[in-house]
Every structure is written in structure tokens, then in C-alpha cells.
Amino acid sequence: MLYSNDTIAAPATAPGQGGIAIIRISGPQAESMLRALFSADVPFESHKLYYGHIVWENDVLDECMAVLMRAPRTYTREDVAELHLHGGSYASRKVLSALYALGARAAEPGEFTRRAFLNGRIDLSRAEAVMGVISSESDRAARAAMRQLSGGVNSFIKSAQDELLSLLAGVEAALDYPEEISDEEAYTALEESARILADRLDSACDERGARILESGLDVVLCGRPNVGKSSILNALLGQERAIVTNIPGTTRDIVQGSIQLDGVKINLSDTAGLRNGSDEVEKIGIDRARQAIAHADVTVVVLDAAMPLTEEDLDLLRETENSPRIIVLNKIDRMPVNMLQPLKDALYVSARTGEGMQNLQKAIAAFAAHAGQSELSESRHMNLAREAARHLRNAADVCARGDEVDLAAIDLHAAIDALSRVTGERVDERLLDDIFSRFCVGK
């Protein structure tokens, strides 16, 4: 159980050796604890950094910099103190032990940010964005998290809530003044507006884009043996990750690597050559290749430009024709351009010389072009927005059927409640425990 009236302390930097280790303290006793440990005789003006030593039980633990930030101009809106020590675990452990002896409690994961939310400095969507910024693995994911941290989600949800309140006010006016506002008038105003807002909430949700932001675009290279899949993988990665030989069937298992294209993480997988396997190990690799193809966001079908299409090539083209794919004719360096077999929408590349590889990169990046551009990118937010949209459509259906208008009011209240849970205006302790348990200690 967390108590916001006590004082907490935790490392704010990652464990291990480094240039600086920061210990963060937040709560009503932050200043007195700082003064008890920091030896320098300084006035501790708020938000100013001071040099001194940490002394505990007549033992100098470290030389350090210290800063006191007085409420409410702090991350948690409580008094916050920080000790900037030499990096390493020894000094941090000793200082934390001293703080615990002075009465501080070890902070729970995410407790500093939780206090920022509980004390009204940030709404819940911004609190979640803090973790999004920390865990981002691509430029696009970091930018989406920063938009959320800057209030993008809050602004969108508040706008939708204002529209909902306006719709609800119209319905309640019809309920309160039936002699002045007929049900027909209330229905006419509500039905169209409710459906428009529901559509806007649904269109703000992009589950695929959110998943790509979080974990990356999954791209699988496939084709029969010796068409150059491993060479293309190595060329895209810029390193020799996969073994390349002239012997067919060299790749037996999935070889993976990641790059960034246009700010999006791209997860590349090179798979075993698709053919009738000659041994048990190769057959297992081929089965795994087909599973990877089935779950890929994008399939890159690699063909050999220097050879006529085989029946295996044609089977693979038929197998992937209804899936997101890129057709690549590799090895164009092995024959004149005018001798290449034409294939609609195919890219012509040479993994050996690099010719055409930039076009392949652009084609892959295009499949993630819109990831991170929707207003909502957190699964929790999208689920609640879709819940609100369902209630809005229920209210519109009430109007279409000509049912009692107070039934529409019930659904409008439910829609408002769903959106309020996005920003944390209405939230329970279990949800807060779940959200903040994903944070690191010290944030």
C-alpha cells in the first residue's frame, strides 16, 4: 500500500558503473534528510545545485552535488531532493541505507510518477507516456510518446468529452422540459452527432500502427534456396549476420536482425529456402519459414533474376499474392538489364553491388508510413475509446428506433465514463497498480 504523506527514496539512474549515480528523494522530509546527510553549509535555495560531501555516522561516504527542489515546482509536486554521486553501486547503497535509517521508504516501481498523477501535475495518459519515452526503441515511437507526454491524448479526449457533454445536455434538456423540446427534436440533434463522434473515436485507434511502434514491423525474407535471401539480409543490416555460400540450403533456421527505416524499427527475418527438404533438419527449418511468413507484416519474396522462374517460385507468388508483400528480383548484376525477365511490380536489386537496395528500403518503410500518426497509440486508450464509440452508437440507435430518450442518456453517461478513465478522472487503485508496476524504480 502506498502512502503519499511519507518520504520515499530510490536510485534514479540505472544500476552498474557509470559517471554519475543519482539518488532521488520525495516527500515532506526530503529537505531534512538532505540536510542530515549533506555536509556543506549552504542555504539550499530551491532548484540550485551545490557541491559538498555525504557524511553519515562520522564517515564520509562520497563527494557529490546536491539539489533541493521545493514544492510545487517539482516532478511530484512534493519537496524533492537529489544527490548526484559518483557512479557505481557502493556509494549508492550506503547513501540509501542512511536515508532508510532516517525514515525514508524505498520507492515502489513508478511511485514518483504515480505521485505526480495523484498530486495533479499530470493526467494518467501523460503518466503512461513517461514509460513510453523510456522504453521507446525507435524515433517514431519516441515522437509518439512525446506527443502523448505533451498532452496530445489529453487534448483529443477532452475535445471528445466536451462534445459528449453537449449531447448529454441536449438530452437532459429534453427530459427536463418535455413541453418545450419534443423527443423528435432531441432525436434529430443527437443521432447524427453521436454517430459522427463515434466514427471519430474509432478512426483515432490504429492497433496495427500501435503494435509496430511498440515492437517494430516484422519483415520476412522468403524464397527458394540460393536466390540471395541471406545476402539481402546482410546488405540491409549492414553486417554479415547470415552465412552466405553457393551451397543451397545453407540457412536452416530463422536468422534475425533489426534496423531503423524512417524512424521505425524493422525486424528482419531470413528464412530457410522453400523446397522439398532433403533432411529432417532442413524440413524443420522450412516449416518455421512458413510459420514466419504466415505471421509477417510484410513478406519479401526473393527471386533469382538470372534464372527463369521455377515452379517453386510460382507457387510462392501464388501463396503470397493476397498478403502484404514485396517481390524482389535479386542478382541483376549477373546479366544485362535487357535480358531480365519482366515481372509486374517487382524491384530489381543486387545484394552484391548494392544496386536497387535503397528502393527496397523505401518499399519496406512504406508499409509503416502511418504508424504513430493516429491520436491514440496505447492499447488501453484505444479499448476505452472504442467502448465510448459503442455507447454512442447505442444512443444513436435509441434515436433511430424512437425509444425513450432517457435510454440514450444512459449510454452517453457510459461513454463519458469510458473517456474519463483514459485521463484518470475516474480510475481505481487496481488499474493504477497495474500501470505503475511496469515502471522502473526511481521514475
Q: Which phi and psi angles does 254 have, rounded to 5°?
A: -80, 125
Residue 416: band (very low, low, confident or very high) from pLDDT cuts 50, 70, 90: very high
DSSP lists the bridge partners of residue 302 as 328
**221 SS3 class:** strand
CA angle 191–412–422, rounded 5-degree value:
125
| Judgement on whether residues 174 and 105 belong to the same structural domain of the protein | no
Least confident of 98-112, 128-142, 170-184: 170-184
Collapsing DSSP to helix, strand or coil, 73 comes out as coil
**Looking at the domain assignment, is residue 436 inside a domain?**
no
Question: Is residue 227 located within the same domain as residue 277?
Answer: yes
For 390, the 3-state DSSP assignment is: helix
Please report the DSSP string for 157-219 in residue order: HHHHHHHHHHHHHHHHHHHH-TTTS-HHHHHHHHHHHHHHHHHHHHHTB-HHHHHHHHH-EEE
CATH for 146: 1.20.120.430
- The predicted-structure confidence for 232-262, as pLDDT tens digits, reads as follows 999 998 876 554 445 455 554 678 899 999 8
Q: Please name every residue paired with 85 in a beta bridge, in sequence order, or none if there are none.
A: 21
318: CATH = 3.40.50.300
- Picking from 78, 100, 122, the residue at the C-terminal end of a domain is 122
Asked if 180 and 143 sit in the same domain, the reply is yes
Q: Strand 217-222 relative to strand 298-304: parallel, antiparallel, unpaired?
A: parallel
Last residue of a domain, one of 73, 89, 122: 122
Q: Name the DSSP class of 57.
A: T
What is the value of pTM for the model shown? 0.76
**3 domain residue, yes or no:** no
Domain count, the chain: 3
Q: Which of these ranges, 13-17, 145-149, 335-339, has the smallest mean pLDDT? A: 335-339
- Asked whether residue 263 is assigned to any structural domain, the reply reads yes
Cα–Cα dist 318/321, whole Å: 5
Confidence (pLDDT) at 173: 72
pLDDT at 282 over 60: no
Cis status, amide bond into 72, omega within 30 of 0: yes
What backbone torsions phi and psi does residue 395 show, to the nearest 5 degrees? -65, -40
What average pLDDT score do residues 102-122 get? 93
The residue whose grid cell reads 538489364 is: 337
Are 319 and 397 in a shared domain?
no
Q: Does 333 score more than 60 pLDDT?
A: yes
d(CA 94, CA 100): 10
Residue 440 lies in a domain: no
Question: H or E stretch including 265?
Answer: strand 264-270
Question: Would you say residue 442 lies in a domain?
Answer: no
pLDDT band (50, 70, 90) for residue 185: low
**pLDDT tens-place string over residues 378-411:** 889 999 999 999 999 999 999 888 888 788 899 9
Residue 91 lies in a domain: yes
CB 12 within 8 A of CB 23: yes
Q: Are 41 and 77 within one domain?
A: yes
Query: What pLDDT, on the 0 to 100 scale, is given for residue 1?
Result: 40
Q: How far is 268 from 260, CA to CA, in rounded Å? A: 11
Check residue 144 and give its pLDDT.
Answer: 84
Residue 306 · residue 331 · CB < 8 Å: yes
Q: Give residue 340's pLDDT.
A: 58
**385/397 Cα distance (integer angstroms):** 18
Mean pLDDT across 262-266: 90
pLDDT at 178 over 80: no
Same domain? 35 vs 104: yes
Cα end-to-end distance, the chain, whole Å: 18
d(CA 82, CA 18): 17
Averaged confidence pLDDT in the chain: 86
Is 310's pLDDT higher than 60?
Answer: yes
Is there a single domain that holds both residue 170 and residue 197?
A: yes
Contacts of 64 (CB under 8 A, 6+ apart): 38, 51, 52, 53, 54, 83, 84, 85, 86
Q: Are residues 191 and 73 in the same domain?
A: no
Question: Same structural domain for residues 113 and 132?
Answer: no
Q: Are strands 59-69 and 80-86 parallel, antiparallel or unpaired?
A: antiparallel
Are 227 and 327 found together in one domain?
Answer: yes
Whether 112 and 143 map to the same domain: the answer is: no
Asked if residue 267 belongs to a domain, the reply is yes
- Provide the domain limits for residue 195: 127-206+380-424
Domain containing 89 — which CATH number? 3.30.1360.120
Give the DSSP per-residue string, 330-367.
E-GGGS-GGGSPP-TT-EE--TTT-TTHHHHHHHHHHT
Predicted confidence band of residue 373 (pLDDT cuts 50, 70, 90): confident
Q: Is residue 435 part of a domain?
A: no
Same domain, 227 and 301: yes
